[in-house]
Amino acid sequence: MGKYIIWIFVLTSLLAVSATDSVTDNATSICVCKAGFSPDQTKTLCIDIDECARHTDNCQQVCSNTIGGFRCSCQNGYETDPNNPLNCNKIDYCKTSPCRHGQCQNGVYSYTCSCNSGWQGINCDKDVNECASANVCSPKGNCINTVGSYTCECIPGWTGQICNEDVDECLANPCRNGGRCRNGMGSYICLCNAGYGGVNCDQDINECLSNPCHNGATCINMMFSFSCYCSPGYTGRLCDLVEY
């Protein structure tokens, strides 16, 4: 036990020597303490001043006492003011623009990102696969994921962002040779004039297949029409009249 008392005495003496300047006046020694120290009751030793306990530190937030001085630090979410080490500034976590495709919002200890449409993740840097969700496009379209968005590839006859709008094909006048166009849901039909056929009324119909000529007449198919070559004794377009 005596050994520890001796070491404490030696350490105290060393601190006292480093914290004092000795002044001799008429054979009397007095201690003049350095900044950060004050004399003890005997006026022979200088002891450390706890500036934090005395509230003489002027630290804005956290004070930590040191031998002969003190140190200022900041709470979580704050950093030391580079222009005044006694003060603390709130950390601007959004300063480095961490949100790739979104808006940054500062918090107490961190930041949060409010992502733009089509993006997700802590920093809004991950593409959202919209096609993974059901019913993105109507049944008339095929969903194709793109970076930050998506598109719907419509089947013929349909249009719109999600392929739910009917295309009025009749606006393009697809029916030829005087045919009349009727629009339908996702399609259209052409009502062809006589002698014309096909989807767009652009094909010749072989009228002779229906045997339009009478009384043994010979049918001759023509472009978009026909002609009857009558047997002797008959006349008329269809050879259905007796010749007198």
Domain range for residue 238?
206-242
Which residues, 6 or more positions from 191, have their beta carbon under 8 angstroms from its beta carbon?
175, 179, 180, 181, 182
What Å distances lie between residue 223 and 77, 196, 206, 207, 211, CA to CA?
A: 89, 9, 8, 10, 17
72 and 116 part of one domain? yes
Report the alpha-carbon distance of residue 123 to residue 47 in Å, rounded. Answer: 53
22 has a pLDDT exceeding 60: no
38 and 16 part of one domain? yes
Band of residue 19 on the pLDDT scale cut at 50, 70, 90: low
The full DSSP string for 178-208 is TPEEEEETTEEEEEPPTTEESTTS-EE--GG
What is the total count of domains within the chain? 5
109 and 159 part of one domain? no
Range of weakest confidence among 33-47, 57-71, 131-145, 162-176 = 33-47
Phi/psi at 141 (5° precision): -140, 160
Q: Locate 236 and state its tokens.
A: 């008329």
101 and 143 part of one domain? no
Mean pLDDT of the chain: 85
Res 13: pLDDT: 39
- The CATH number assigned to the domain holding 13 equals 2.10.25
pLDDT in tens, 164-223: 999 999 999 999 999 999 999 989 999 998 888 899 999 888 889 889 999 999 999 887
Instruction: Judge whether 133 lies within some domain.
Output: yes
Q: Locate 106 and state its tokens.
A: 């500062």
Q: Locate 111 and state its tokens.
A: 């930041």
What Å distances lie between residue 42 and 9, 38, 45, CA to CA?
A: 15, 11, 7
Task: Work out the average pLDDT over 22-34.
Answer: 62
Report the alpha-carbon distance of residue 65 to residue 52 in Å, rounded. Answer: 6
70 and 122 part of one domain? yes
pLDDT in tens, 80-92: 999 999 999 999 9
SS3 226: strand
The full DSSP string for 77-143 is TEEEETTEEEEEEE--GGGG---TTEEEEE-SSSEEEEEPTTEESTTS-EE--GGGSTTSS-TTEEE
Instruction: Judge whether 54 lies within some domain.
Output: no
- The CATH number assigned to the domain holding 213 equals 2.10.25.10
27 has a pLDDT exceeding 90: no
DSSP letter (8 states) at residue 9 = H
Instruction: Judge whether 149 lies within some domain.
Output: yes
25 and 44 part of one domain? yes
